[in-house]
Each structure stands twice: as C-alpha cells, then as structure tokens.
Chain A
Amino acid sequence: MIHQLEAPSLVHPLGTDQLGRDVLTRLLHGSRLSLGIAVIVTTVRLVIGTAVGLVAGYAGGWIDEALMRLVDTLLAFPGIVLALVIAGILGPSLVNVMLALAVVGWASYARLVRSSVLSLREREFVTAARLLGRSRTHVTVRHLIPNIAAPVVVLATLDIGGVILGISGLSFLGLGAQPPTPEWGTMLASGRTYIRQAWWLVNAPGVCIMITVLGFNILGDCLRDRLSPAQSNQIEKL
C-alpha cells in the first residue's frame, strides 16, 4: 500500500483513498452502478405507478377509492424514512435498497396518471373510439397511454435525481452497496473518516452526485417545456 491517501496529481487526478485506489477510476466505475440502479428503480416506479393510475382512473368506483387511499398513505410518509425502514427490515444489500426505493416512490406516478386518465376519458376522441365498438384495452393502449406519456416521462426525469440521492443516502447509512463496491454514496461514507487528511475523498463523489442530480433536473425542466401542449407540434416531428 504505497499510494495511500495521495493528493490529486497528474497520475491520480482525484487522488487516492485510504487503500491506495484511484478515486477517479472508482467514481467512473461507480457511475455505472449509481446511474444504472437509478434508472431501474425509476422504471419500476413508473411502471407500477402507471398501472395503478390507469386502473384507478379507468375503473373508478371503490377500486379507485381503495387505490387512492393506498397512494395517500404512501405519500403521507416521508419517502426516505419509509425506505429506511423497509431496507432496514430486509437487511443491508443493494437489491433491498432498490426494492425499498421502488416500493416507496410509485405513488406520485399513480396520482399523475389517474388525473390524466380522468380528464382524457371525457375527451371526445376517446368517446369516438368507444362508439366504434373498440375495447377498453384498445382505447387504453392506443389512445390513453400515448397521450399521458409526456407528463409521465417528465416526472420520471425529475424523479431520477431524487432516486440517485436516495440510493446514495441509504448507501451512506450503510444499508445499500457494501464496500468495496464503488457506489458513490458508499464512497462518500468511507471517505468521511479521513475528511481532515484527504478532502478529495468526500468532495469527489459529493460533487458527482450533485452534478448528476442537477443535470437530470434541468433535463426534466427542458422536457417539460418541450412536451407541453403548446409545443406538441414540434415533438411529433422529432
């Protein structure tokens, strides 16, 4: 272990850690994990939320009532605390953290999809398809989903930042990826001990998390502007 806690240099642009590993290399490798997990968790949230929202919006009645109360319950808890509880019960591992974050976060998608379905199904083009004798499945797949896709995609991009923070946060607390896995949150946590001797150990993953989250938020904002109804002329031609 000759390269322990070396300051940033030309050979190690972001320095090395307590075990002499190159921080930049670990960060680059860790981005695969952090981003990959975030995308998977967000996709799972999106799929569950959309399915629940479609069922609630289209079925109505007591099914809608029951599903929405479940959503309310989930939204009433602070997400990260609930995720902490679930991950704590399941035991520390990356898969469990993913599971916990996915279970916690689908409620807002369900809300959004349900309200979109409620307004869309009153639109006359949906009635027109129903009057042609088309099935509910046809109407849902061909008319409803394409028309609610835009706001859901925007929500997902905005949500991805939160998921990255969540994974990093839970990993920081020791519930997610276990060392030596190069996950950003885990790196942050293990660097904490050496914060006085080696500032780069916490700053590098911290800045990475910040820039990624910020980036996804800006992307989400732009998408929202782009996909808003007034601009819908452009999207279809893209």
Chain B
Amino acid sequence: MTQRERKSNELQSRTPVIELQNVSKTFSEEQSVFDRLWSGDSAAEAICNVSMAVNSGETVGLVGESGCGKSTLAKLLTGQLTPNEGHVRLDGTRVGGIKDRSPSQCRQIGVVFQHVRESFDPRWPVNRSLTEALNDAETVSEGGTNFNEVDGLLRSVELSPEIADRYPRELSGGQLQRVALARALAHDPDVIVLDEPVSGLDMATQATILNLLADVQRRFGVGYVFISHDLDVVRYLADRVAVMYAGEIVEEGPARKLFEHPNHPYTDSLLRAIPSIDPGDAPPNSLQGDPPDLTDRPTGCPFHPRCPAATAECAEHQPNFETIGNIRVQCFHAPHAIKGSSDN
C-alpha cells in the first residue's frame, strides 16, 4: 500500500466535508403546450443517482467526456444547483443551494471556475477581488483593502504583491489562475472545487500550477475536487478518482489502482485513448459512438451501446456497484470485461 493510499484510507473514517447522497439532477426544458402534446417529457437527466464524499486534505479527481455531468456535479457541490433527489451534506448537515446556506457554510467550499477570466469583475483590481473573499471583509469591503492579508495570499500562490493593483485583463492566464486559487484560499475553505483548472494553459504553466496546487494542499490541508478531462493531470494530482459517464459515476477508487487496473470498460477505453509518447506503441484507441442523449437514456447500463463487452443482460438491467478492494465499479462484467476486450 503506497503512502498516498494509506492517507486516503485513514481520511475515509472521518466525517467527509462534503458528501453527495444518491443525488439526481434533471433539467427540464421549457416547453410549449404543443411540444408537450407531441413529444411528451424531454427532461435531461444530467446527474443520475450519484454518491460521493470529499474529505479535507485529499484530492478527488473527476474525469469523463465532455457533457458527462462533471461541471453539473461541481455546481451541486457548491450549491449553484440544487438536486431533484438526494441530499448534499456539509460536515454531516443537510444543506440546500446557495440561498439556503449560511455565509460560513458557503465559505467552507472554495471555487476556481472553469473560465477564470470571467470569474473576476473586470472593473475590480486584484486586491479588491481578494479582499471581497476574505473572512472579515464586511467592513473592509466598504472600499478599503486589507493589504497585509492580500499580500500574504498572493505570496502563498507565488505571485509578487505588485500584482495587487492590476486589473484581471492585465494578467496572463497563469497569473489569473493563481489569483483565482488565492481567492479560493482567502476564506480558509475545507474543500476547493477546481473546474478544469489547467485546461486553457500551456504545458509549462500547467506544470507550475499543478505543483502549486500540490504545495498549497500540503501547507493548508485543503481538499480538492479536481475536474478534468486530462487523465495525465488527474493521475498526477488525485488520491481518488471518480469516472463519470452519462451523469453516473461508473467507477471510483484510489487513483493508482484505477489507472493501473481499470475495472470498468469505460475507464479502460478512456485510458486507451491517451496517445503514447513511444511511436512503437499502439496508436490511441478512440471509443466508437457518441455519448447517449441525456433526454433519452438507454435502458440498462448507460454504456452498453458502446461497450465492447456488453451482453443482453447489460441492455436490460442497470448494474449495481460491485466492490473490488477499495474500488467500486458499476458493471456486471468487471473485472472480466477488461480481460475479454484486451484480448482482441
């Protein structure tokens, strides 16, 4: 057992900071009377019966194709959306959306948005945005700035304090990403939700941001929910990984184990789609077909139309979670499915 796995095992015994319990979220389009007469209900099930928990100090990676519900899941965690079914628990207490959360509950979760540039008021210099995020900002936000704290925050993300007077548009993508992290740290959260934090950056900047994230976690003991479609990045940072497909978590477990021995055919195909740096290796194997239409989900296992190991059973019944060690996987054939498909 590696040090990382041991760490995540001992963390699991505590009450998680934030927990989703059998959460579902459907989006219904606004329909005219005529649409309803002709086509019936067309609600999209973006998140389907998902449970997950995040502890402080650990990193949970959330991977999957575009449109599989990663960002929706993040919004459920932060309270931007409220689930149709199931509960969200903060420190064991059931909470609703932002409106129903107290300021201190809101502040337990930090957010780094997918579009960082959009997430800063274009009219505010960095110090004002950071001051807004500080805990004792009620009086300070009357126009003043808490220079000491802002200074400290910028230093903790390895930025020079001179940046404080700049406007968001004057900063580079990498700098802005650091400022966003500083803002998320400002109110001392237990968990930070990072939505594609490195996807818009060049490789060199990606590496420095990832190292910074790891460093910040070590110093502040904060937990991360790390959303990405880049498996290499997730492999580098995550303690645990949850693989999402069509709004469901199909496999979840310690990162190392999951990447070395994928149990779900979908995890396997995601890993095979990574191009290898060695020209002698097989070319990346892309998954055939498209993700399912969420307004019209396939019966049984949502992955069966694209699954190389699918049988008649998969089309009829939704598989339950099967536990293999500390991995849970939602597949009838795990782990035999992988063996079968890797032979051909």
A contact residues vs B (CB 8 Å cutoff): 123-125, 127-134, 138, 142-143, 146-147, 232-233, 236
Using Cβ atoms and an 8 Å threshold, which residues of chain B touch A130? 98
Query: Would you call A236 and B123 a contact (CB within 8 A)?
Result: yes
Interface residue B289 (Cβ < 8 Å from any Cβ of A): no
Assembly CA distance A134 to B102 (angstroms) = 10
With contacts A124-B113, A138-B141, A142-B141 taken as known, whether A132 is within 8 angstroms of B118 at the C-beta atoms is: no
Using Cβ atoms and an 8 Å threshold, which residues of chain A touch B133? 132
Query: Would you call A123 and B118 a contact (CB within 8 A)?
Result: yes
Instruction: Say what secondary structure dominates the interface of chain A.
Output: helix
Interface residue B61 (Cβ < 8 Å from any Cβ of A): no
Using Cβ atoms and an 8 Å threshold, which residues of chain B touch A236? 123, 167
Interface residue B25 (Cβ < 8 Å from any Cβ of A): no
Using Cβ atoms and an 8 Å threshold, which residues of chain A touch B102? 133
Query: Would you call B106 and A131 a contact (CB within 8 A)?
Result: yes
A-B contact pairs, 20 of them (CB 8 A): A123-B118, A124-B113, A125-B119, A125-B121, A125-B122, A127-B113, A127-B119, A128-B113, A128-B183, A129-B132, A131-B111, A132-B133, A133-B104, A133-B107, A142-B132, A147-B121, A147-B123, A232-B122, A236-B123, A236-B167
Q: 15 more A-B contacts (CB under 8 A) besides A132-B187, A142-B132? A: A124-B119, A125-B118, A125-B119, A125-B120, A128-B113, A128-B119, A128-B183, A129-B132, A131-B109, A132-B103, A133-B101, A133-B106, A133-B107, A138-B141, A146-B123
Using Cβ atoms and an 8 Å threshold, which residues of chain A touch B115? 124
Q: Which residue of B lies closest to A129 (CB)?
A: B132
B contact residues vs A (CB 8 Å cutoff): 78-80, 98, 101-107, 109, 111, 113, 115, 118-123, 132-133, 141, 167, 169, 183, 187
Assembly CA distance A129 to B128 (angstroms) = 12
Query: Would you call A131 and B118 a contact (CB within 8 A)?
Result: no
Question: Which 6 interchain pairs have the tightest Cβ spacing?
Answer: A133-B103, A133-B106, A124-B119, A124-B118, A125-B121, A128-B119
CB A139 to nearest CB in B, in angstroms, measures: 10
Query: Would you call A143 and B167 a contact (CB within 8 A)?
Result: no
Assembly CA distance A133 to B113 (angstroms) = 16
CB A145 to nearest CB in B, in angstroms, measures: 11
Q: Which residue of A lies closest to B143 (CB)?
A: A142
Using Cβ atoms and an 8 Å threshold, which residues of chain A touch B104? 133
CB B285 to nearest CB in A, in angstroms, measures: 36
CB B30 to nearest CB in A, in angstroms, measures: 14
CB B82 to nearest CB in A, in angstroms, measures: 14
Using Cβ atoms and an 8 Å threshold, which residues of chain B touch A124? 113, 115, 118-119
CB B69 to nearest CB in A, in angstroms, measures: 19
Using Cβ atoms and an 8 Å threshold, which residues of chain A touch B79? 131
CB A134 to nearest CB in B, in angstroms, measures: 7
Assembly CA distance A142 to B79 (angstroms) = 22
Q: Which residue of B lies closest to A125 (CB)?
A: B121
Query: Would you call A131 and B98 a contact (CB within 8 A)?
Result: yes
Using Cβ atoms and an 8 Å threshold, which residues of chain B touch A142? 132, 141
Assembly CA distance A141 to B175 (angstroms) = 28
Query: Would you call A134 and B119 a contact (CB within 8 A)?
Result: no
Using Cβ atoms and an 8 Å threshold, which residues of chain A touch B113? 124, 127-128
Using Cβ atoms and an 8 Å threshold, which residues of chain B touch A131? 78-80, 98, 106, 109, 111
Query: Would you call B121 and A143 a contact (CB within 8 A)?
Result: yes
Q: Which residue of A lies closest to B169 (CB)?
A: A233
Assembly CA distance A127 to B80 (angstroms) = 8
Using Cβ atoms and an 8 Å threshold, which residues of chain B touch A128? 111, 113, 119-120, 183
Using Cβ atoms and an 8 Å threshold, which residues of chain A touch B105? 133
Assembly CA distance A131 to B109 (angstroms) = 8
Using Cβ atoms and an 8 Å threshold, which residues of chain A touch B78? 131
Q: Which residue of B lies closest to A235 (CB)?
A: B123
